[in-house]
Amino acid sequence: MTLIFNPEKYQELLVKYQPKIIRTEEENEKALAIVEKLMHQPNRSLEEDELYALLITIIEKFEQEYYSPGDDSTPRSMLLFLMEQRGIKQSNLVGVIGSKGIVSEVVNGKREISKAQAKALGDFFKVDPGVFI
């Protein structure tokens, strides 16, 4: 069965959620809440997938500008910053980048973040993996 994108249904979603450029942390939190809801919704429609992708793009743009790292940032400092901002604990990263021991070593600066781990962290935090390299 081929699914067909329904522009009218997508328009209804756009009217309901009214996505726009994010300029404040409050707007970012609202967009993140919608993304969270869509992320955990089983059997998303094509239109919901499109809204989800749009919101992720808008959120990433805001976070890259608002939380732009300075010249002194390191992959580890970016990881620690994102963990703090989002209330993520080391235990939340077990399985994302490795075992409890590996996560501990990365977080404590005893092990560098590999390219594979950077990609996984980028997916997990919804940011460009390059911030971890």
* Spans of the chain, pLDDT less than 50: none
Quote the pLDDT of residue 35: 93
pLDDT the model gives residue 71: 53
Q: Which CATH code of 1.10.260, 2.30.30, 1.25.40, 1.10.443 fits the domain covering 75-132?
A: 1.10.260
Instruction: Give the up-direction half-sphere exposure of residue 113: CA atoms within 13 A in the CB hemisphere.
Output: 24
* pLDDT value at residue 121: 94
- Predicted local confidence at residue 89, as pLDDT: 92
Domain ranges of the chain: 7-66, 75-132
**Phi/psi zone of residue 55: left (φ > 0), alpha (ψ -120 to 50 degrees), beta?**
alpha
Q: What are phi and psi of 98, to 5 degrees?
A: 145, -160
